[in-house]
Amino acid sequence: MLRLFTITFVVLGASLICAAAPSAWSVDYSRWADGQAYDKAEGKTDWPTLAWFDPGDAHIREFPAGSGRHWLELGFPAGTFGGGHHGLKFAANLAPRESYTLEYEVYFPPGFEFSQGNTRPYGGGKLPGLSGGSHPSGGHGKPDGMSARPMWRRDTRFSRAPQDYLELYLYWRNQSDKYGDRFFAQTVEAGHAYRVKLRVDLGTPATDGAVRVWIDGILRVERSFRFLGPGQDWKLTQYMHDVFYGGSDATWAPEHDQTLLLGPVRVDARPF
């Protein structure tokens, strides 16, 4: 009888957690041991409102060694891109809000391939972001939602010679390209860590919203968008942890095995 009661309580508790998604959250990976695999059980513990989880190649790493700081180390085997068990891809539900701020650190190890072998003139991959409404991504733009994610890139879109940089990658109802709009943020280098902060304000059907990106505390992107169409009232509702190379074909894949590190995550409906 006691066993039946316990099972029933857990199921109801999970439902209550999903119904009461938070508007402020932080994850520092400190509960996990150095070297521990980070799979769905660990993800569910850190992010109880998981909407979905695609197992990848993720472990906990103390970085720098002896610092006591734990990061999430993601692996990308040579030749992998898009879907599949590499990097780490999941989403966690947030309380519906008009605005959210997200902040984390990303470290690109020495020799990191921003594109295939750092020889192709284009390539890159996704980093964590925010989304709302119908959560458009993957070349499927939708009129009733948006998603904003930083990306690491290597190409000549914003320069004559190939450069390694971070950009804002945005899906929204009036995007100019099937695969979203792109906005340059800052050049980056392998062997360095960068603190990324993303702020999304939806606005209203009668007023523009905005997206802002800071790198190491410096405002690098500030753009206005009319995210909500007439009669729309959808909100921001998800933290997107879609981290992978791609792109939709093998030209986006790294030539050699790669890793990157993601530091503690903070998300809050209030500005910070």
Cis peptide before 247 (omega within 30 of 0): yes
Q: Is the dihedral of CA 245, 217, 94, 45 positive or negative?
A: positive
3-state secondary structure of 10: helix
Model confidence pLDDT, tens digit, residues 108-165: 999 999 999 999 889 999 999 999 999 999 999 999 999 999 999 999 999 999 999 9
As a whole number, mean pLDDT of residues 22-32 equals 97
How many whole angstroms separate alpha carbon 40 and alpha carbon 33?
16
How many whole angstroms separate alpha carbon 250 and alpha carbon 36?
30
| CATH code, 127 | 2.60.120.200
User: Which domain, by its residues, includes 167?
Assistant: 2-268
Burial class (CB in 10 A: 0-12, 13-18, 19+), 137: buried
**In this model, does residue 77 exceed pLDDT 70?**
yes
CB 92 within 8 A of CB 47: yes
CA distances from 48 to 52, 53, 202, 264 (A): 11, 11, 25, 16
How many whole angstroms separate alpha carbon 30 and alpha carbon 24?
18
Whole-model pTM: value is 0.92
How many whole angstroms separate alpha carbon 226 and alpha carbon 252?
31
As a whole number, mean pLDDT of residues 173-186 equals 97
User: Count of residues for the chain?
Assistant: 272
Domain count, the chain: 1
3-state secondary structure of 9: helix
Closest C-alpha among 138, 148, 186 to residue 168: 148
As a whole number, mean pLDDT of residues 225-246 equals 97
Percentage of the chain beyond pLDDT 70 is 93
* The pLDDT value given to residue 14: 36
How many whole angstroms separate alpha carbon 57 and alpha carbon 129?
19
CB 245 within 8 A of CB 80: yes
